[in-house]
Each structure stands twice: as structure tokens, then as C-alpha cells.
Amino acid sequence: MIRVTLIGTFRTVDGTRTNTFKRGADSFPQIDRVCHLIDGANLQRFMGLLGAGLKDEEKLILGTFVADRSALAIASGDRLFQRHAVILGSTGSGKSYAAALLLERAAKLNNPNIIVFDLHGEYGPLGDIANGGYATRYKIAGPGDLEMPSDNVVFLPFWVLNRDELLSMLLDRSDQNAPNQASRFGFHVRVLKEATANMARAMAAKTFTVDSPIPFVLRDLLIRLRDDDTRKGTGASGKDVKGEWEGKLSRFISRLEAKIGDRRYGFMFSPTEVTQAYDWLHKFAIRFFSGANGEGIKIVDFSEVPSDVLPVVTGVFARLLYDIQFWMQPISRRPVSIFCDEAQLYLPRRDDADAVERQALWNFERIAKEGRKYGFGLVVISQRPSDVSRTILSQCNNFLALRLTNEADQAVVKRLVPDNLAQIIDALPLLDVGEALMLGDAMLLPTRVRLDVPKVRPSSATRDFWQEWNTATPNENATIAAIESLRAQTRAAVERPDLFEV
């Protein structure tokens, strides 16, 4: 018995055109009609039809079809990025290579604009121009970058966060004084931003809100909060009485001071003096919208960002770029795409998200739902789709699914594809490394493809445990350097292990 799923219609003659294929079945074979298996040269010609209707400038070559290795697997680059995409696969299935392949193809265009959120630093080789790299590499400032940051270090100063994002990090909602703390915080922030806008004689001085990304001095905020927390009130008899805010802000001030004093959060709460300038945000945006030195692929390394604020940092970064794109004149917008690597770490299901993660979710869900209209796309990359926000996945219309062995993850993909294609997902645990099922708007026929190997590979290749145990020798200096990097919370020691001797 063979189970058949009707997914498209091939016509030798269709009006004035010949040999066409379109998705969907609008006519059906009669019972007892003869079925034919396409093979050999016919299969090659049929596979070639799938990309034949695309313009040359729209074609995105992914590899070859598993059914016919002589036929190129061609997708629509426009549809892939317009309608958001997902790259899924268990660890070791070739997920990072698939992402690197898309980046490599995009880098050959004249003016691509892609920002990769690199959670583990594995896409670093793509920024090594001397060895064939094609991307510009940045990193979120770590504890070792605060004194003398290099040009590729990125700060996200506290003032670019909106009120809710800051409060998600600083406010303890279980504190009975939480409403008072949030109220005074918002009041003072607004006053300080107004002062900056007036000083800069900015257009925003009359229309800004507490969420507007306008610089202010954190020290001035602390002075105002401490004054509220210690100021006495005046009673009817003229004697001092307990003030309206007295003692109610103490815990909030302590949490803010703790964040300022923790060097891990230096990229946000101890940024350089330059980030306090009113025009800093202009330069930041130009760097990521135009690309440094003409490079259109930007790799942003988040590996030194503390895990407890990772969702806020990624969410703020994405929201900031999206807001700028939203407010830009439509005629001046250039399409932007964000590659969200290891998405399960900062885009969890809403039921599992805490207050910090919900802020990031809201930002990314907004982009997933509205981004297409403003030329802003997402490519979500994850090894555990069952742990990723359902809302975001449901807005993605293209799936590059590599081997998935977990039943819960397979079930998620099945729910996201049309019912008539659900049976195709049964092949997911059987795929070889580097093979993928391509489904969605970017390719006419849901099919199994063998992805090309990127020329510049991310540093995520599976290690050969058995062979390395047999040939490699331990490096004591490297171990000591790793410990010092752990203590200093910077990779400087790891990058120069020769500076540390046993």
C-alpha cells in the first residue's frame, strides 16, 4: 500500500504556456487510472521546473534535490525573507551550516542588510576577512571592554530601554512598594529626558514620552530617588513627619546600585561617555543600517551577556532597529533581516516566560506580526522548536527543517504546516546531516534537499571525540587561561593563553 498526498499539479499545456507546475491540486485522477514514477531525465527536467519561474535576481540556490542530485534546489530569496523563516534541527544536524549558507549567498548581493544574533560566538569565522570571511563582527561589551573598548564593541546604554524594559530588570513586583517605586522612577526619568532634549534643542522636546530613547545621567536619577527616599514631610504643627516617599524606594535604589556596580552589566549601566551624547543613537543606527566599510552582513556576539538579562538585551536591540525602520520614510527603507540564533534561549513560550523574557517576546512577536509591511524580517534558528514562542513560529511561512529526533519538536512542525503536508514531516528523524526538508512560500514543492556546505564555516562543527582522545595532548596553559577568563569574565586570557604559564 502506498499513501499518496496530492501537493501540486503539473500540466504539459496550460493556456499559452507549456510544462508548468503549481502548488495545490485542482483536478484529481480517477480511480483505476495508471500512475507513473518520474525518474532519470524526466525527474531532472521536472525538478528544474520548480525554479524555472523565478527571475535570476530572485533565485537562491540552496543545494541539490535528494531525489536528483543533478538538479539544483532553487528557492525564492524574496519570499524566504519577506515572510519570515525558521531553521530547525537537532544538535549536530547542520543547522549552523544552513544559516551560514544563507548568509554566504546573501553576501554576494550588492547591498544586503542582515544582523546575526550570535549567542555563542560560533559565527566569528565569518568576520575573519583575511581567511575568506565576508561579515563585520561586533560584540556586546563584556567586563573586559569597559575601560578601553575597541571599535567593534557595542554598548546598549540604559536610556535606549523603554520604561517597562528597565523596570523588568529593576523592579521586584512582589514588593508592596513596587507601584510607588515604578511611579517615581517614571517621573524622574521623564524630567531628566526633558532636560536633555531642551539642551539639545531637539524637535522631540515638545512631543517626547518617557519611552523615547533620549540620554540622561544615571547619577542624577539616583540623587533624585535618594532625595525622595529620605525627605521628611511637614505636619500640621510644622514638625517633621514621615515623607510621602520616605523609605519606600530603598530596595529599588539598592537593586539599581547593584546593577551599576556589577561589571557584567557594564554594557548597559556603565557605558562610555560617548554614549551619553544626543547624536550617539544616530551613529549606532547608521552602523547597523548602512554597514561598516560597506559590509552588509553584521555578526553581533552576545556570548558575554549575562543569561538573566539576555532576553531584554536581544529584545531591545531588535526593537530599536525595528522602531527606526518603522519611523523611516517608506521610500528610504532598506529591507532588514535578523537571524535569531538559539532562539529558545530568549524567545520561550509565553507560559514559561518570566517578566524579563516577556519584554523580549513582546518585541519579537510585534516584528513577526507586523515586520513584513516595513521590510523587517526574522530568521528563527533553534534546536528545540517546542520551547520557542508559538506566536512567532506561527508567523513564519518558510521552514528549513533538518533532522529532528524529539517527538515534541516534530509535533510542533506538524502543527505549523498545512494538513496535506503533515505526512512529509515523518521523514525528519531519518534525514542525514546536511539534509533538510524545505517547505513554505519560498519553494513550490515541499521537498528534501541536500544543502551546500558553506565555504566559510562557523566554529560549531562536531568534535571527533574518539580520535581526539587518541591524538590530542592536554594544554595546561590553556586550562589556566580559561580559569582566568572565568574570573575576569572576559575572553582576553583565552585569546592569549601564552601570557599565562604554569
Looking at the 3D structure of the chain, how many domains does it have?
3
The domain that contains 378 carries what CATH number?
3.40.50.300
Would 34 be classed as within a structural domain?
Answer: no
Domain hosting residue 217, numbered range: 143-278
Cβ neighbours of residue 179 closer than 8 Å, sequence gap 6 or more: none
Would 43 be classed as within a structural domain?
Answer: no
The pLDDT value given to residue 216: 92
Q: Which stretches of 135-230 are assigned E, i.e. beta strand?
A: 136-140, 153-154
Same domain, 66 and 104: yes
The pLDDT value given to residue 502: 46
For β-strands 17-23 and 297-301, DSSP reports them as unpaired
The pLDDT value given to residue 461: 64
Mean model confidence pLDDT for the chain: 85
Same domain, 168 and 256: yes
Same domain, 305 and 354: yes
Same domain, 343 and 437: yes
pTM of the model: 0.86
**Strand, helix or coil for residue 440:** strand
Please classify residue 239 by burial: count the beta carbons closer than 10 Å to its beta carbon, then call 0-12 exposed, 13-18 middle and 19+ buried. exposed
Give φ, ψ of 36 to 5 degrees. Answer: -125, 140
Same domain, 307 and 450: yes
Same domain, 117 and 197: no
Would 131 be classed as within a structural domain?
Answer: yes
Same domain, 248 and 357: no
Q: Final residue of a domain: which of 278, 312, 335?
A: 278
For the chain, which residues score pLDDT lower than 50?
500, 502
